[in-house]
Amino acid sequence: MLKLFNRKKKDNKGFTLVELVIVVAILAILVGLLAPQYTKYVEKSRKTADASNLEEIVKQLKVVASDPQYMVQAGKYVVKITDTDDGTTITYTASTNAATTTTKDDWRKGMQATLEGTWDVSTANVLKNKGLTLKSNKWLATADTDMGATANEHAIYAMIKVEDDGTMTVTYNPASIKEGIN
Protein backbone atom coordinates (compact mmCIF):
# COMPACT_ATOMS: atom_id res chain seq x y z
CA MET A 1 0.00 0.00 0.00
CA LEU A 2 2.80 2.41 0.87
CA LYS A 3 4.56 1.60 -2.39
CA LEU A 4 1.43 2.48 -4.36
CA PHE A 5 1.18 5.87 -2.62
CA ASN A 6 4.83 6.70 -3.29
CA ARG A 7 4.49 5.66 -6.91
CA LYS A 8 1.52 7.99 -7.45
CA LYS A 9 3.39 10.88 -5.93
CA LYS A 10 6.29 10.47 -8.37
CA ASP A 11 3.94 10.56 -11.36
CA ASN A 12 2.47 13.96 -10.35
CA LYS A 13 4.54 16.48 -12.29
CA GLY A 14 2.46 19.68 -11.73
CA PHE A 15 1.54 22.26 -14.34
CA THR A 16 3.40 22.63 -17.61
CA LEU A 17 4.83 25.93 -18.78
CA VAL A 18 2.24 26.16 -21.57
CA GLU A 19 -0.62 25.80 -19.09
CA LEU A 20 0.80 28.56 -16.90
CA VAL A 21 1.27 30.90 -19.89
CA ILE A 22 -2.34 30.32 -20.97
CA VAL A 23 -3.63 31.15 -17.48
CA VAL A 24 -1.51 34.33 -17.33
CA ALA A 25 -2.76 35.37 -20.79
CA ILE A 26 -6.39 34.88 -19.78
CA LEU A 27 -5.86 36.93 -16.62
CA ALA A 28 -4.18 39.71 -18.63
CA ILE A 29 -7.14 39.85 -21.02
CA LEU A 30 -9.61 40.02 -18.14
CA VAL A 31 -7.66 42.83 -16.44
CA GLY A 32 -7.49 44.71 -19.75
CA LEU A 33 -11.25 44.50 -20.15
CA LEU A 34 -12.20 45.32 -16.57
CA ALA A 35 -9.71 48.12 -15.74
CA PRO A 36 -11.51 50.86 -17.75
CA GLN A 37 -14.81 49.98 -16.11
CA TYR A 38 -13.18 50.16 -12.69
CA THR A 39 -11.73 53.62 -13.36
CA LYS A 40 -15.16 54.84 -14.51
CA TYR A 41 -16.72 53.70 -11.25
CA VAL A 42 -13.94 55.30 -9.20
CA GLU A 43 -14.35 58.63 -11.03
CA LYS A 44 -18.13 58.51 -10.65
CA SER A 45 -17.79 57.93 -6.90
CA ARG A 46 -15.39 60.89 -6.63
CA LYS A 47 -17.82 63.16 -8.45
CA THR A 48 -20.66 61.93 -6.26
CA ALA A 49 -18.61 62.71 -3.13
CA ASP A 50 -17.91 66.24 -4.42
CA ALA A 51 -21.57 66.83 -5.21
CA SER A 52 -22.54 65.50 -1.79
CA ASN A 53 -20.09 67.87 -0.06
CA LEU A 54 -21.49 70.82 -2.01
CA GLU A 55 -25.07 69.78 -1.25
CA GLU A 56 -24.27 69.50 2.46
CA ILE A 57 -22.82 73.02 2.55
CA VAL A 58 -25.84 74.36 0.65
CA LYS A 59 -28.19 72.63 3.07
CA GLN A 60 -26.35 74.10 6.05
CA LEU A 61 -26.39 77.57 4.49
CA LYS A 62 -30.14 77.27 4.02
CA VAL A 63 -30.52 76.36 7.69
CA VAL A 64 -28.49 79.39 8.75
CA ALA A 65 -30.36 81.70 6.38
CA SER A 66 -33.71 80.56 7.75
CA ASP A 67 -32.68 80.78 11.43
CA PRO A 68 -34.05 83.96 13.04
CA GLN A 69 -31.26 83.88 15.63
CA TYR A 70 -28.69 84.97 13.04
CA MET A 71 -30.95 87.17 10.90
CA VAL A 72 -28.99 86.53 7.73
CA GLN A 73 -29.61 89.40 5.40
CA ALA A 74 -30.95 89.05 1.89
CA GLY A 75 -28.29 88.61 -0.70
CA LYS A 76 -26.41 85.95 -2.59
CA TYR A 77 -24.10 83.34 -1.15
CA VAL A 78 -21.70 81.60 -3.52
CA VAL A 79 -20.09 78.31 -2.47
CA LYS A 80 -17.04 77.34 -4.52
CA ILE A 81 -15.15 74.08 -4.06
CA THR A 82 -11.77 73.95 -5.78
CA ASP A 83 -8.67 71.81 -5.64
CA THR A 84 -6.27 74.70 -5.02
CA ASP A 85 -4.61 75.59 -1.75
CA ASP A 86 -7.59 77.85 -0.98
CA GLY A 87 -9.96 74.89 -0.89
CA THR A 88 -13.61 75.77 -0.31
CA THR A 89 -14.76 79.36 -0.16
CA ILE A 90 -18.14 80.82 0.73
CA THR A 91 -18.65 84.36 -0.48
CA TYR A 92 -21.49 86.66 0.57
CA THR A 93 -22.64 89.61 -1.48
CA ALA A 94 -25.48 91.73 -0.14
CA SER A 95 -28.22 92.61 -2.57
CA THR A 96 -29.00 96.26 -3.09
CA ASN A 97 -32.63 95.91 -2.03
CA ALA A 98 -31.87 94.34 1.36
CA ALA A 99 -34.34 95.63 3.90
CA THR A 100 -32.49 94.25 6.92
CA THR A 101 -29.63 96.05 8.60
CA THR A 102 -27.57 93.14 9.88
CA THR A 103 -23.83 93.27 9.55
CA LYS A 104 -21.60 90.89 7.67
CA ASP A 105 -20.48 89.53 11.04
CA ASP A 106 -23.98 88.13 11.63
CA TRP A 107 -23.92 85.84 8.63
CA ARG A 108 -20.32 84.82 9.37
CA LYS A 109 -21.20 83.88 12.96
CA GLY A 110 -24.16 81.89 11.74
CA MET A 111 -22.13 80.11 9.08
CA GLN A 112 -19.25 79.28 11.41
CA ALA A 113 -21.65 78.02 14.07
CA THR A 114 -23.46 75.73 11.64
CA LEU A 115 -20.89 74.56 9.10
CA GLU A 116 -18.75 71.59 9.99
CA GLY A 117 -14.99 71.79 9.72
CA THR A 118 -12.52 74.57 10.25
CA TRP A 119 -13.60 77.76 8.53
CA ASP A 120 -11.32 80.79 8.53
CA VAL A 121 -12.45 84.35 7.93
CA SER A 122 -10.29 85.71 5.13
CA THR A 123 -12.12 88.99 4.49
CA ALA A 124 -15.31 90.62 5.70
CA ASN A 125 -17.44 88.58 3.32
CA VAL A 126 -15.50 85.35 2.66
CA LEU A 127 -15.13 82.14 4.66
CA LYS A 128 -12.44 79.64 3.66
CA ASN A 129 -11.92 75.98 4.43
CA LYS A 130 -8.59 74.64 3.22
CA GLY A 131 -9.40 71.06 4.17
CA LEU A 132 -12.27 70.52 1.74
CA THR A 133 -11.14 70.23 -1.88
CA LEU A 134 -12.37 68.46 -4.99
CA LYS A 135 -11.79 64.73 -5.18
CA SER A 136 -12.48 64.47 -8.91
CA ASN A 137 -10.33 66.17 -11.51
CA LYS A 138 -13.08 66.03 -14.15
CA TRP A 139 -15.16 69.05 -13.07
CA LEU A 140 -15.22 72.00 -15.45
CA ALA A 141 -17.33 75.03 -14.57
CA THR A 142 -18.99 77.14 -17.23
CA ALA A 143 -18.62 80.91 -17.41
CA ASP A 144 -21.04 82.66 -15.05
CA THR A 145 -20.38 86.24 -14.01
CA ASP A 146 -23.09 86.09 -11.33
CA MET A 147 -21.11 83.38 -9.49
CA GLY A 148 -17.68 84.61 -10.50
CA ALA A 149 -17.00 81.42 -12.47
CA THR A 150 -14.78 81.37 -15.51
CA ALA A 151 -15.10 78.93 -18.38
CA ASN A 152 -13.38 75.55 -17.92
CA GLU A 153 -12.35 76.38 -14.37
CA HIS A 154 -11.64 73.32 -12.22
CA ALA A 155 -14.32 74.04 -9.61
CA ILE A 156 -17.95 73.48 -8.70
CA TYR A 157 -20.27 76.25 -7.58
CA ALA A 158 -23.61 76.72 -5.89
CA MET A 159 -25.29 80.10 -5.56
CA ILE A 160 -28.03 80.63 -2.98
CA LYS A 161 -30.11 83.76 -3.39
CA VAL A 162 -31.93 84.83 -0.25
CA GLU A 163 -34.74 87.28 -0.93
CA ASP A 164 -36.11 89.87 1.51
CA ASP A 165 -39.16 87.68 2.15
CA GLY A 166 -36.92 84.71 3.08
CA THR A 167 -37.37 82.66 -0.09
CA MET A 168 -34.26 80.92 -1.34
CA THR A 169 -33.23 79.70 -4.78
CA VAL A 170 -30.18 77.58 -5.54
CA THR A 171 -28.29 77.53 -8.85
CA TYR A 172 -25.47 75.10 -9.62
CA ASN A 173 -22.46 75.34 -11.91
CA PRO A 174 -21.95 73.06 -13.76
CA ALA A 175 -25.63 72.20 -14.04
CA SER A 176 -24.82 68.46 -14.05
CA ILE A 177 -24.42 68.62 -10.26
CA LYS A 178 -28.17 68.98 -9.78
CA GLU A 179 -29.21 66.95 -12.83
CA GLY A 180 -27.24 63.93 -11.72
CA ILE A 181 -23.67 62.86 -12.08
CA ASN A 182 -22.70 61.73 -15.59
More confident residue, 10 or 109: 109
pLDDT of residue 100: 46
Global pTM exceeds 0.75: no
Is there a domain that residue 11 lies in?
no
Is position 3 within any domain?
A: no
Q: What is the chain's mean pLDDT, rounded?
A: 77
Overall number of domains in the chain: 1
Instruction: Please report the pLDDT score of residue 117 as a whole number.
Output: 63
Residue 15 in any domain: the answer is no
Per-residue model confidence as pLDDT tens digits over 39-56: 999 999 999 988 888 888
In a domain, 19, yes or no: no
How much is the pLDDT for 8? 55
| Full residue range of the structural domain in which residue 117 is found | 29-179
The residue that leads in pLDDT, 64 or 22, is: 22
- Average pLDDT of the segment spanning 147-174: 84
HEC readout, 16-73: CHHHHHHHHHHHHHHHHHHHHHHHHHHHHHHHHHHHHHHHHHHHHHHHHHHCCCCCCC
46 part of a folded domain: yes
Q: Tell me which of 150 and 33 has the higher pLDDT.
A: 33
Asked if the structure places residue 7 within a domain, the reply is: no
128, 119 Cβ separation under 8 angstroms: yes
Name the least confident of 114-118, 146-150, 173-177. Answer: 114-118
Q: Answer whether residue 47 is part of any domain.
A: yes
pLDDT tens for residues 80-106?
888 777 777 877 666 544 444 445 566
Cα–Cα–Cα angle for 89, 47, 43, rounded to 5 degrees = 135
User: Per mean pLDDT, which range of 28-42, 77-91, 132-146, 164-178 is the poorest?
Assistant: 77-91
Instruction: Specify if 24 maps to a domain.
Output: no
